[in-house]
Amino acid sequence: MSTNRVDERVEANGVPVELEHLTDFAIDANGQVTDEETDVRQIKAVISSPSESDTRRLEGRLSNGSVKLTVKSDVDVRGDRDGASDKIRYPVEADNTDSELYRVVEVRDDTNHLTGTRKKTVLCDRLGGR
């Protein structure tokens, strides 16, 4: 198996973030998600600002508080998961008092056409702090 250099760099230089996604839910009579069960785990990500082209393409879906994450290619993160988009919390702190919560808007599985190296780009919009 060949080594993925992007995955190596994310592992070496990334910061811890919490990835939260729904594992089970119900929908009430009004069509709202209820009885949520979530899975929360810590992953590493390289965090940056979205590019101008990302911001233009996702106009109306990204705010000024948006972030772009590069995560390892095998991370299961989705913006279209049944029930609700995945969420990212950063920075990771024990009491979450200064953490920001982000909603995953878009996930791209990118492959460099010259090297064949895979990476996963995640665009997130800030929901607020806790």
130 confidence band (pLDDT: 50, 70, 90): very low
Q: Using CA atoms, how far apart are residues 15 and 88, in angstroms rounded to an integer? A: 12
Flag whether pLDDT at 107 surpasses 90.
yes
- pLDDT given for residue 84 in this prediction: 84
Q: Per-residue b/e over 2-13, b at no fewer than 16 CB within 10 Å?
A: eebebbeebeee
Higher pLDDT, 77 or 91: 77
CB 68 within 8 A of CB 88: no
- Tell me the average pLDDT of the chain: 86
Amino acid at 85: S
Q: Using CA atoms, how far apart are residues 103 and 106, in angstroms rounded to an integer? A: 9
Instruction: For residue 88, give every residue at least 6 positions away whose Cβ sits within 8 Å of its Cβ, in sequence order, or none.
Output: 17, 18, 19, 20, 45, 67, 69, 101, 102, 104, 122, 124
| Angle CA 45–122–111, to nearest 5 | 95
How crowded is residue 128: how many other Cβ atoms within 10 Å of its Cβ?
A: 8
Indicate yes or no: pTM above 0.85.
Answer: no
Task: List the chain domain ranges.
Answer: 5-129
Flag whether pLDDT at 40 surpasses 90.
yes
Q: What is the CA radius of gyration of the chain?
A: 15
Return the percentage of the chain with pLDDT > 90, whole number: 45
Average pLDDT over residues 92-117: 83
CATH 1.25.40 fits domain 5-129: no
Flag whether pLDDT at 60 surpasses 70.
yes
Higher pLDDT, 70 or 56: 70
